[in-house]
Structure 1
Amino acid sequence: MATLLRIDSSASGDNSKSRQLANEFIEQWLAKNPGGKVVVRDVNANPLPHFTSETLGALFTPEEDRSAEQQAIVAIGDELIDEIEAADVVTISAPVYNFGIPSTLKSYFDYIARAGRTFKYTETGPVGLLNKDAYLFVASGSFLAETPMDHQVPYLNTFLGFVGVTVKETFIAGGQALGQPGEESFNQAKAKIASAA
């Protein structure tokens, strides 16, 4: 049975355009994979603790020496990594907040980036270990894609590549604060999803 891990991050709930695009894709994925399972990780509804000195200390403390508090901190990342390792495909829906991804999604990435588990260092540079495919669904109030102000899509591609996740396709709805141009962009993204399926 195929498993899709759905990661959502928008604070807009059902009104989120990035989530709505993910809905379109997942509906078609389920039609192709009728026995498929969708695991939902909503980092807005269930935000993760920020990565702090306590987090770092817990990770660098040998397992047998960790306090109960440190064990609980490490267990957060363990659960998230287990979840993405078990997935066959990953979808990420993300808006742009102040020129970047939501801090809740950044916290998620901080927890799944673990040397020896999701990436390793080699003499020729880091190598990702997850070996997954991903689809991105992104939205922004203005048209930022492929401009110097786009710190969302390039970052997502860079981080995901670092942990061994290959972005197969990105569906972008720009201009969502601009009325008709935003509606047209959203509809174009939906049409792209339909043709990709």
Structure 2
Amino acid sequence: MALITTSIYPPGGDVKTEVFWDVETKSFFDEAGSWDPADLGVSLVSVYRRGGFGEEIRSFWEKDFDELWKVFRDADRIIGFNTLGFDIPAMKPYAPADFATLPHFDILDKVKLVNFGRGASLNAIARGTLGVEKIDSGANAIAYWKKGDAASLALLRKYCEADVAITRDIYDFALKNKFLKFTDKWNNARQVEVDFTYPVETTSVKQSSLF
């Protein structure tokens, strides 16, 4: 798979279990007759998982979704791009009721927080920050699903896994360098400062009474 990089874990030697993910859908919004991602149907979910055990990438077709939930539940952080606005709602018909309450980390949401509410596409951030581009498009991913032959489904899986790898590499760059770069829709080069470090965990110790 393209774009494999050395894993970057949070500073201080605390190795977290992190899951990066992306979904592909079966149809377009106009075909579904709805603007709700939950109505699109999910064809495939790809995840890249890393932690003290090492790292792995897996893809899950709809029939295998029951195997996904333990992967997500075991994660300290579930990282994606536009997952709050798209992927999590798209998974609503399949996911346990508490799925949205798990520790999701949406890179697009973090960019909007420091960019006056304006986002950028995954491809724009990948191009500006990493000098790479997506290998295919979401429209083609839907076409591959509809064709349904082995070669098309292999292309669908390759595309989804590559998007997960790009998401991971953007996250790792930002975690290390604390900024992301992209060209906005007005063709202006932008650099935004971000902080993807984990919050410092503090424990309060109750002082014993001296009396």
**Length-normalised TM-score, structure 2:** 0.22
**Length-normalised TM-score, structure 1:** 0.23
Which protein has the larger Cα radius of gyration, Structure 1 or Structure 2? 2
